[in-house]
Amino acid sequence: MLNIPTQSFPAPSSQQRVSPSGQSGRNKVALKPGHSLMDWIRFSKSGKDLTGLRGRLIEVTQEELQKHNTREDCWTCIRGMVYNVTPYMDYHPGGEEELMKAAGIDGTDLFDQVHRWVNYESMLKECLVGRMATKITTSGLYLCFLFFFSAIIPPPPPTDPAHSTSVTLPPDKDSRPRYDWFQTDGTVHLVVYAKRKIPSSGCTVVDLVAGVLRLEVLLGKMSYMLHLRLADEVETHISVHTASSVGKIQVSIRKQAKGKWPSLGEPLEFHNTFLRKKDRAVYYRDCVLLSKTEVNHNTYVFRLQVPHGTVMHVPVGKHVYLKTFIQGTEVVRPYTPVDQNLAGASNHCSQVSDLYLMIKVYPDGMFTQHLNNLHVGDHISVSGPEGTFSIRPLCDVTHLYLLAAGTGFTPMARVIRLAVQEMDTIRETKLLFFNRREEDILWRGELDELAANNGRFQLEYVLSEPCESWTGRRGRVDESMLQDFLSKPDASKCFVCVCGPPAFTELTMGLLKQQGFSDKELHAFQS
């Protein structure tokens, strides 16, 4: 199946060509109706023979390649692999003229100059003819046909014999991720090939401490780990780029001293391993409290800064563990990050990896009281992302129902933003929010504003101890309340998320199953 990249980022060691007018050197032409990117995706998935070889892979000689050099029969070679790009002619935004520059020849050199970071293997997977029988050096491809996707990680050139990037035929059934690396005089780059789609919200955690690199890619229940003592000193600034739909991750690090490294470094424990997450130890890093902002009378947003050298994006619905020692005893608690506000991060000065944790401080809560007594600049240990929630089921959902009690709202906050701002397929998102009193409602102003301005989001509050003037729902969760709130419109796909105190979650999940919701339609967050 063809996976088409949807995110864009430049190759770290290349620059885009710019014409004197300031426009990109890559020109687009008007496509015929029915020849958009999505049309190419559908066409390539149609099962039609796009190579003319009925699924066979062949070895192509240079003489054979040169024969296929016309508009009606156009083959080209990139890094030793031959593709029949004839079917793609009418879909190419740069026009057939650009593709014809590669007709019957090896155009790898010019391709690298312009779009070396594009994942042509994925886009032209169904057009693969086979491998070149001999190495050819003919220059000549200005392959901008890969320009909707100008944002994929470059297939790295081989620099280490132990990790050669020589081109191979499509991988076999081995689903184990792999990695490679390449370098310039001033930078070193690692590329992880997950061999599956990965969340666009992030699944990679990188820690660089005293020259030791720990890179973890979270893939469902599995964890792929790279763990090395790097060959030379590097700066702590790290950039991570993800091409989610093709499963590639590139980590770029600056060298302190320019020059070529003979190797990437020394492998350490668990390097290049693919294990179940439950089988690997939880790794903590030392974070700093930057600020504490009051949400209501007993709840605050704690903003934590991860160490220099750490890049950590917590996917939607995942939590982290906070660990500290209280009176000589190690205490660990899970918390789900939120964004700065319900609309998402708005402070451009904020570091991308800063964590925002909305935490209720209980009078008799040992851990929350400890947190509440921290001062700006104090430290606390934070794990990487944990949890079983996945946004994949939401891709097929039309109606999303969220049932939250108290601080059980925190995992819902990012789910709400995702549903109403990024997932057009979800036609309706409804939140039923349980609290004791009005003053306990978290982010009420933002929730009310969102409901007023977005027709796809609906909201109801339920109070168990309301004042006399309260006109909304009263009481606790029960069968009749859920029957009123939930509905299964015809031909719709529903999904329900629940989070709150354990008793609330257990009761609510039982009531939902009584109403006919299956396990696949339900998710309970850890409170």
Q: Are residues 245 and 293 in the same domain?
A: no
Q: Are residues 200 and 272 in the same domain?
A: yes
Instruction: Answer whether residue 451 is part of any domain.
Output: yes
Q: Choosing from 299, 310, 336, 508, which is the catalytic residue? A: 336
pLDDT of residue 30: 65
Residue 319 a catalytic site member: yes
Instruction: Answer whether residue 6 is part of any domain.
Output: no
Judged on CB neighbours under 10 Å (0-12, 13-18, 19+), 66 is: middle
* Closest of 483, 487, 438, 428 to residue 459, by C-alpha: 428
Q: Are residues 271 and 335 in the same domain?
A: no
What is the residue-level pLDDT of the chain in tens, covering all 527 positions? 333 333 323 333 323 333 333 333 444 456 678 876 557 767 887 888 998 888 888 999 999 999 999 999 999 998 888 999 899 888 876 678 877 888 899 877 766 554 443 446 666 888 899 999 865 444 434 343 433 333 333 444 443 433 433 333 343 457 899 999 999 999 999 999 999 888 766 689 999 999 999 999 988 888 999 999 999 999 998 999 888 878 899 999 999 999 999 999 999 999 999 998 877 888 999 999 999 999 999 999 999 999 999 999 888 999 999 998 887 778 888 999 999 888 765 444 444 579 999 999 998 888 899 999 999 999 999 999 988 888 888 888 999 999 999 999 999 999 999 999 888 899 999 999 999 999 999 999 999 999 999 999 999 999 999 999 999 999 999 999 999 998 877 667 999 999 999 899 999 999 999 988 999 999 999 76
| CA–CA separation, 296 and 444 (whole Å) | 10
Q: Are residues 408 and 516 in the same domain?
A: yes
Which residue spans within 391-511 are E strands per DSSP? 399-405, 428-435, 457-463, 473-474, 494-499
Q: Choosing from 86, 499, 508, 523, which is the catalytic residue? A: 499
Instruction: Answer whether residue 83 is part of any domain.
Output: yes
* Closest of 132, 72, 133 to residue 103, by C-alpha: 72
Q: Is the dihedral of CA 141, 144, 145, 150 positive or negative?
A: positive
Q: Are residues 512 and 404 in the same domain?
A: yes
Residue 193 a catalytic site member: no
Helices then strands (H, E): number in the chain?
A: 10, 28
Q: Are residues 406 and 376 in the same domain?
A: no
Q: Are residues 517 and 399 in the same domain?
A: yes
| CA–CA separation, 383 and 385 (whole Å) | 7
pLDDT of residue 433: 97
pLDDT of residue 246: 85
Token pair for 125: 């997977």
Q: Are residues 192 and 143 in the same domain?
A: no
CA 527 from centroid of its chain's CA atoms:
24
Q: 293-319 burial by CB neighbour count: b if 16+ within 10 A, else e?
A: eebeebbbbbbbbbbebbbbbbbbbbb
Q: Choosing from 115, 189, 319, 370, which is the catalytic residue? A: 319
Indicate which CATH number applies to the domain containing 349.
2.40.30.10
pLDDT of residue 166: 34
pLDDT of residue 352: 59
Instruction: Answer whether residue 8 is part of any domain.
Output: no
pLDDT of residue 122: 62
DSSP 417: H
Q: Are residues 292 and 256 in the same domain?
A: no
Instruction: Answer whether residue 206 is part of any domain.
Output: yes
Domain edge (last residue) among 94, 114, 149: 149
| DSSP per residue, 45-78 | TS---SSSSTT--EEE-HHHHHH-EETTEEEEEE
Residue 336 a catalytic site member: yes
pLDDT of residue 258: 94
Q: Are residues 263 and 304 in the same domain?
A: no
Residue 335 a catalytic site member: yes
Confirm if 419 and 359 have CB atoms less than 8 A apart: no
Q: Choosing from 179, 193, 300, 335, which is the catalytic residue? A: 335
Confirm if 29 and 94 have CB atoms less than 8 A apart: yes
Q: Are residues 371 and 433 in the same domain?
A: no
Domain edge (last residue) among 279, 310, 334: 279
Q: Are residues 127 and 71 in the same domain?
A: yes
Domain edge (last residue) among 351, 383, 415: 383
Confirm if 239 and 251 have CB atoms less than 8 A apart: yes
Number of separate domains in the chain: 4
Print the domain residue range for 190. Answer: 175-279
Instruction: Answer whether residue 163 is part of any domain.
Output: no
Indicate which CATH number applies to the domain containing 443.
3.40.50.80
